[in-house]
Structures are given as C-alpha cells and as structure tokens.
Amino acid sequence: MFAVAAVAILASLALAIARAIAGPTLFDRVLAGNTVGTLAILLLAVFGFLTGRPEFLDLGLTYGLLNLIGTLAVLKFFRYGDLAHDDDAGDRAR
C-alpha cells in the first residue's frame, strides 16, 4: 500500500518539476520548488515505512525546516538582491 503512495508522490513530483521547467516566471519556479520540497518530505516519510526504517522521518523534519528558510531566502534575495535587507529600516526612513 505504501508503494501506491510512493508512486503517486513520484508522479506528483514529476508534474511539479515540469512546472518548474516550464516557468514562465521566477515565482512559478519558486512555487514549484516549494512544492517539490513538500513532496520530498512526504516521500521520505513513505519511504521510511516502505523500508521499515522510521529514521527517515528525522530527515523529513530537517528538510521541512530547511525548505521554509530556503524558499523565504530565495524570495527575499530576488526582491532586494540582499539577504540581510532590513525592511523596517526602509519604513522608518519614509
């Protein structure tokens, strides 16, 4: 039964990667990348059950935390061209 879930998640991954390649804008790619991250966590969990090794869940948790930070960092970088940008400083200056 976990094999069915694994196949479904792999098919979804393929569709998400197709969207990442097709674009057309940067934000479509970021969205697709974030979806790939989500699906990878699910795939890690399912794979842990499939092989009877639940240690994969720890990898999934770590990947989930990194996925959030990574997506936000990419968005911030492409908006300001700077990862240490202080948005509040701009608001105060205005």
Residues that bind other proteins (CB under 8 A): 1-2, 4-5, 7-9, 11-13, 15-16, 18-19, 22, 25, 27-28, 30-32, 34-35, 38-39, 41-42, 45-46, 49, 54, 57-58, 60-61, 64-65, 67-68, 71-72, 75, 78-79
Tell me the closest approach of the beta carbon of residue 48 to other proteins, in angstroms: 8
Tell me the closest approach of the beta carbon of residue 23 to other proteins, in angstroms: 10
Tell me the closest approach of the beta carbon of residue 22 to other proteins, in angstroms: 8
Q: State both tokens at 28.
A: 């479509």
Sign for the pseudo-dihedral over CA of 43, 44, 48, 54: negative
Tell me the closest approach of the beta carbon of residue 34 to other proteins, in angstroms: 6
Nearer to other proteins, 2 or 86 (CB): 2
Give residue for tokens 């697709």.
32
